[in-house]
Chains A and B, each alone.
Chain A
Amino acid sequence: MTQPDDKELLLQFHEPATKERAYTRIIRKYQEKLYWHIRRMVVEHEDANDVLQNMFIKVWNGLENFREDSQLYTWLYRIATNESLTFLEQKKKRSVVSMDDSEGSLSNSIKADKHFDANRLEWKLQLAIQQLPEKQRAVFNLRYYDEMPYTEMSKVLETSEGALKASYHHAVKKIEDFILNH
């Protein structure tokens, strides 16, 4: 099934009669991509679900003022990334209060997954990704999984393309090191 064009969806969204239908189509179009982007950041499904839903509610409120000189796709990714980073920040604060280790808890969540298989490289990669600082984790995921061009990623993360390339390079090296040594 061909996906509806963003411009057409935005036009429909700005019409009161078709607003809700258009937004439902926007959710359907981007829900899986955004879910996986968020899920790779926050690891647990319940957390990803919360972040994703809250994000779409914020988008509903903000879409009226969306400037159409940027792409809806990059704008949604930016919100999803920011929401994920905010969630992880809050989780970290809660962990400090409860004397918990946030980074460790994400790794523990991966290991606690009932499908976790320590011998599979895909699972080992997930553990390696959790060793990265949060924003670098986003850079790696967007490039590795979403195959996002640096030009678009620079809009999503509001960082220069050069800095993103360097960040991705270092991230891959750290991951390689983790995989080879674990």
Chain B
Amino acid sequence: MTRNTDILKELEQISQAVAQVGAETPYRVPVGYFDSLDTVIMARIAAGGNEENSLLQVAGKQMPQDAPQGYFDTLSDTILSKIKAQQNIQTASEELSELSPLLAGLSKANLYEVPVGYFENLPAGVTEKTTETKVVSMFSKQVWVRYAAAAVVFGLIAFGINFFSSQSTVSGPGIPTAKTEEQINTELAKISDEEIINYLKMTSDGKDVAAIASVVDQSQLPTEADYMDDAFMESFMKELEQTENKTN
């Protein structure tokens, strides 16, 4: 290293002894330290300067494990892109601005009106209704089950007919042979009543019932006597009387 002559002269004037000492620092640094220092620092910066979040220790403190080849070349970029991705978390309004600037520009104020004092009186009104009005069931649970059973019969028949008719019209190589009515009935019998009731409750509506009724032989349906016995009628009439007494 070439020493600055002015500074050396200054030193010689102060102390010949010190001027004779070499200007080389005898300390050493780990091999390759300066090669990876910039990468380590950039990784720490990307991690918000937090040592725990970065892999500073790996490069700076001579870990015994080897990192994969080229790992540190891309580490800072990887971490920076992750941080940027985190920073890109959008709010709902930002997202909308991107998707549709037109929608984002619209006012979000409600255009509909409610009667004056509606919300102030709403809780009181609801409480009043829940305490004063008793919802009277026209049918007991037992009765409901009976009607459901009737619906199941409708359902079973309609499903069977539909299934049978659709299967029977399709045949050919690679297509399963149509099942006989007996086979269908056997398979349907395996389905529990509860499952069928649940299915009908979830999926059927008035149109379904009408459709079922149009293809069902009415004579095959259960008669009123099948589900409305004397005990049921007695119970129904009692309930009806009690309701009338309360409302009068």
Interface residues of chain A, those whose CB is within 8 Å of chain B, are 20, 23-24, 27-28, 31-32, 35-36, 39-40, 43, 45-46, 49, 52-53, 56-57, 60-61, 113, 115-117, 120-126, 143-145, 147, 168-169, 172-173, 175-176, 179-180
Contact of B17 with A39 in the complex, beta carbons under 8 Å: no
Please provide the 5 A-B residue pairs with the shortest distance between their CB atoms, ordered closest to farther.
A176-B15, A27-B38, A172-B14, A147-B4, A122-B26
- Indicate if B246 sits at the interface (CB-CB under 8 A): no
A101 to chain B, nearest CB (A): 21
Write the nearest CB–CB distance from A76 to chain B, whole angstroms.
Answer: 13
Of the candidates B23, B34, B42, which one forms a contact with A20 in the assembled complex, judged by CB atoms under 8 Å apart? Answer: B42
Of chain B, the residue at the smallest CB distance from A140 is B18
Interface residues of B in 49-108 (CB under 8 A from A): 49, 56, 60-61, 76, 80
Number of A-B contacts defined by CB within 8 Å: 97
Measured CA separation A168–B125 after assembly (Å): 90
Determine the chain A residues whose CB is within 8 A of the CB of B38 once the complex forms: 24, 27-28, 31
Nearest CB of chain B from residue A87's CB, rounded to whole Å: 15
Say whether B184 faces chain A, with CB atoms less than 8 Å apart: no
Considering only CB atoms and an 8 Å cut-off, how many residues of chain B contact the other chain? 34
Smallest Cβ-Cβ distance to A180: which chain B residue: B17
From B15, B28, B42, contact of A175 by CB (8 A):
B15
B41 touching A56, Cβ below 8 Å: yes
What are the residues of chain B within 8 A of A46 when measuring CB–CB?
Answer: 61
Known A-B contacts: A173-B14, A173-B15, A176-B14. Give 18 more (CB < 8 A): A24-B38, A27-B38, A28-B38, A45-B27, A49-B61, A53-B40, A56-B45, A57-B44, A115-B26, A121-B22, A122-B22, A122-B24, A122-B25, A125-B21, A145-B23, A172-B18, A175-B15, A179-B17
Cα of A24 to Cα of B41 in the assembled complex, Å = 9
**Chain B residues within an 8 Å CB radius of A143:** 7
A17 to B238 alpha-carbon distance, docked (Å): 85
Is residue B37 within 8 Å, beta carbon to beta carbon, of the partner chain? yes
Which residues of chain A are within 8 angstroms of B60 by Cβ–Cβ distance?
49, 53
Residues B27 and A20 in contact, CB atoms below 8 Å apart: no
How long is the Cα–Cα vector from A49 to B3 in the complex, in angstroms? Answer: 27
Q: Does B30 contact A (CB under 8 A)?
A: yes
For residue B221, which residues in chain A have a CB less than 8 angstroms away from its CB?
A: none
B40 to A35, Cβ gap below 8 A? no
B240 in the interface (beta carbon within 8 A)? no
Measured between beta carbons, the chain A residues less than 8 angstroms from B44 are 53, 57
